[in-house]
Amino acid sequence: MTATKGEFFNPAKLSSRDKAEATDHTARAIIAAEASARDKKTEKLKALRLQQEADAEPKAAPVKKRRSAAKPQP
């Protein structure tokens, strides 16, 4: 069996509109997949952060230092 040119190359030429549609479809699919992965990662990290905050001991409010009254200069 011999390889022919027709097996490797598409004999019909695609119009520029068809090429643009294929590129647009592919790009939108990639963007949607990335957005989905980003949303899943965000939800996972948020759940871990909330769990960590729940497990941590509550911190006491910092004690405010009282300022002493200014002393008059002699």
- Say which residues have a Cβ less than 8 Å from residue 14's Cβ, sequence separation at least 6: 22
- Show me where the domains of the chain are located: 16-54
Kindly report, residue by residue over 10-36, the tens digit of the pLDDT.
667 889 999 999 999 999 999 999 999
Taking residues 29-50, report their average pLDDT.
97
pLDDT at 41: 98
pLDDT at 66: 78
pLDDT at 47: 97
pLDDT at 17: 94
DSSP string, the chain: ----HHHHS-SSPPPHHHHHHHHHHHHHHHHHHHHHHHHHHHHHHHHHHHHHHHHSPPPPPPPPPPPPPPPPP-
Q: What is the mean pLDDT of the chain?
A: 85
Nearest to 31 by CA among 42, 23, 43: 23
Secondary structure class of 12 (helix, strand, coil) = coil
